[in-house]
Amino acid sequence: MSASSDAIVDVSGLGVTYGGRAALADVSFRVPRGSVFVLLGRNGAGKSSLVRCALGLQKPERGEVRLFGADAWRTRAQAMSRVGVVPEEPDAPPDMTARELAAFCRSLYKTWDDGSVTARLARFGVPGDVPFGRLSKGQKGAVMLALCLAPQPELLVLDDPTLGLDVVARKALYDELIGDLADRGATVFLTTHDLNGVESLATHVAILKDARLVVDEELDALKARFRRIRCSKPPRATAPAWAPFVTVSERSREWGVEAVVSNFEDEALEAFSAQSGASDVEVGTLSLEEVFLSLAGEERGAA
């Protein structure tokens, strides 16, 4: 899926604090039109604050978020008709059925596709006449997604939508997203802890760590520059341990040493092998989850 150069969401110098503690510190990135932009971070890294600012629900203390080219805080009322949101916790009046919720939401939008709601609820196996409060979490999430997609929004904001769902429900949600993206090419801004599930969907990845942005790039480029390198003995003591690589993490093993490097190139591997004296050098690719763990989930040099 290609993405044009214009940004649906443009975050610039964003800063948010709570009780003197930084939740976001000078965060900047752009969500290109037509992209599936995945925002990652451990709990407390600032993801929820960023989503609230992007939707105009929270005014940042510093910097700004531009949504569709305008200040998100000042133009939220106009912008939200072009945005579909699936929150982390599905929320709707518990006594209303899916059918009643669809009828209510229909009156709020100029564009509404009743047929898509009916079809999606049928595919997810959600009864139309059962009160929302009596549905399972997976069914509630399905209702929210169906309502989110029915107005055919330009931007989908999904805040950890698979949290608490079983494997079947997660797969159904991602299949539905894949189908909608293939049909319309909408822009998606997604936060999640399900890195394996989104890897096949994502085009761009940003990673927050301790309130700061440590990664912002296309997924293919990110995975291309990260590698795990293993060798059966340590490098010579007279040489920098992993030069010319930039190491993200290092570990000692019974059989030798390994490192995750963030600037892998074949020329760098040749230089490392020549100057380090390492033997039996092995190079492996990393999944998105492994890249994330190397950057945000493990301490450098952990056992």
What would the DSSP string read from start to end of 187-222? EEEEE-S-HHHHTTT-SEEEEEETTEEEEEEEHHHH
Section 11-22 average pLDDT: 94
Question: Could you give the 3-state DSSP secondary structure of residue 3?
Answer: coil
Residue 54 has pLDDT above 80, yes or no: yes
- The reply to whether 109 and 207 lie within a common domain is yes
Least confident window among 78-92, 109-123, 235-249: 235-249
Give the Cα-Cα-Cα angle 134, 140, 145 (nearest 5 degrees): 155
Full residue range of the structural domain in which residue 249 is found:
227-284
**DSSP string computed for 223-243:** HHH-EEEEESSPPPTTS-TTT
Give the Cα-Cα-Cα angle 137, 139, 140 (nearest 5 degrees): 65
pLDDT digits (tens, 9 = 90+) for 167-222: 888 888 888 877 777 677 789 999 998 898 899 889 999 999 999 999 999 999 99
CB 194 within 8 A of CB 170: yes
Whether residue 292 lies inside any domain: the answer is: no
The predicted pLDDT at position 2 comes to 41
- The reply to whether 167 and 87 lie within a common domain is yes
Whether residue 2 lies inside any domain: the answer is: no
pTM for this entry: 0.87
CATH code: domain of residue 42 = 3.40.50.300
Based on DSSP, count helices (H) and strands (E) in the chain, helices before strands.
Answer: 10, 14
Over the chain, what is the mean pLDDT?
A: 87
Least confident window among 61-70, 83-92, 199-208, 233-242: 233-242
Beta bridge partners of 257: 231, 252
Strands of 93-224 (E only): list them.
Answer: 155-159, 187-191, 204-209, 212-218
- The reply to whether 53 and 150 lie within a common domain is yes
**What does each C-alpha distance from 94 to 81, 83, 88, 158, 169 come to in angstroms?**
24, 23, 17, 21, 21
- The reply to whether 107 and 197 lie within a common domain is yes
Residue 5 has pLDDT above 60, yes or no: no
Confidence of residue 240 (pLDDT cuts 50, 70, 90): low
Out of 184, 216, 248, a domain closes at: 216
CB neighbourhood size of 211 (10 A): 22
Confidence of residue 154 (pLDDT cuts 50, 70, 90): very high
Q: How far apart are CA 275 and CA 269, in angstroms?
A: 10
- The reply to whether 133 and 269 lie within a common domain is no
